[in-house]
Structure 1
Amino acid sequence: MDEIEDGPEPEIQTTEPETAAPINVGARLKAEREKQGLSREEVGEKTKIAERHLTSIEEGRFSDLPGRTYAIGFARSYARALGLDEKDVVEGVRDEMGVAAPQVSERKLDYMEPGDPARVPSSKLAWGVAALLIVLLVIGAFTWKGFFVPAADLPTIKDETEAVATAPTAAPTTTQTALPTGEVVFTATVEGVWVKFYNRNGSQLFQKQMAKGETFTIPADADGPQIWTGRPDAFTISVGGQQVAPLATEQRTIRDVPVDAASLTSRPAGPGIPTHGN
């Protein structure tokens, strides 16, 4: 019987089953997007996220995004648009970035998400705020000018003092112009003007609708003569042959106005009289 020579035992090779590499968040989002037949542009319109950021997420390049908060917020909005589990996607992003979950409530995290379209202010609101700021700036500029600029035009106290000191002193009047005296004559300047003259005790001196050019002379013995008419502007008045200022320059009713020589000549040189009733 032949002897069997001892030799080295054949090596038994054992192979362990390969563990499949976990699918990263970006690949999951991209696969789901393509499964739903959506383009990145369509997802961008839903989430208000730029396509370049969506590309960075799908390729797992979270470092290309503005920051960790943006990466988490964009990924959450992306998952929401596709109907995926938002919390699962966010945890995946944190694992890939090596970021621990912040110790804040989920509600506060949602408020800080920059990619959430519900949190992004509309363009109308932004333009409204800008217009309001412009209006406030214009109002502030005019207010500043009104408060501070006029002060530059005001004279100093020294200038005012010098002006008073150098102002010429009016020479004292040694003579006074004699006031006209004599008979008082009223002349109508329009046709059919009604007038009544009476003494201070109410006794009538004259009452008529005077024709244009008609005159009436106050009696020399009249006691405190007064006038009542609705057209004081329709008379010229002379005292001692010298014309004096009219009783009024507009049509209105006057009553109980003294018309003796002293009262008429002591009135201002210009037109107009004080109101003495209706």
Structure 2
Amino acid sequence: MNSENITGADTAPLPPISGAGAQLRAAREAQGLDVSHIAAETRIPRRHLEAIEAGDYESLPSRAYAIGFSRTYAKIVGLDPAMITDEVRLELADGSMRRTIPTPGIEPGDPARLPSAGLAWAAAGAVLILAIGIFAFYNTYFGSGADADELLAPQPVETAAPAVPVANVAPAPVPTGPVVLTAMEDGIWVRIYEEGGARLAERTLMQGDRLEVPASARDPRINTGRPDALGVTIGGQSVAKLADRAQTISGVPVSAAALAGRPAAGAATAAPAIMAPAPSAKATGPAGTGTR
């Protein structure tokens, strides 16, 4: 009886692998690949790949990164990207992206709530520096011996010289045509919608993916957290990006008319205006003072 039970246990089928991360890890190990190899192929940081394999989506920047990185990982190891991303969405729906981390309560009188001695000395130094700055300001503007009328007298203003007209310079043509957004990195979440109207598109773009703003849209707007990683063209002509750094933007117009005023990529900036020399100021007060 015992031998039969043992034999039955040995031949029982293994349970299927559950979880998107576990499936990705199993596919990678089956091909004899290291995490470093996947990181080099996908240009995804190794720590993010390890977090996906462990199902630790809290370590990733956002939900969009969890889905986009998992899709790219699945393509490299030969799994179905749609199946993996659906699995990731199910895991995220279970609340795995909660950002609130419970912390132990602090009892009254806990020394951790009191500032350290170093912090107290730093605060005292900042107050001292502020006091010295205020004293120097008042000493400069109210202790120089100048009369009040002199301090309040109108100061000479620099005037700009008349602009020199440039002959035979035609205005730059205004770009027209469809507005196209191109992702320059993986995992760029974008939402396009009409102001006060319906949502037109919402996607997580991978590097090289293109998203065209419908030409028939009325006052189209964009929400995204990576405007610096989106190339913008109007009718195939490049214009300036929506931002030069990573930041969350919301409700920014992306119609051809709204973006037409942006300078083309690599366009030269206008020369600075020529300033006329300022009139010389003569001292009117006691020695060592004059018109500021």
Q: TM-score range by the shorter chain?
A: 0.3 to 0.5
TM-score by length of structure 1 reads 0.37
TM-score by length of structure 2 reads 0.35
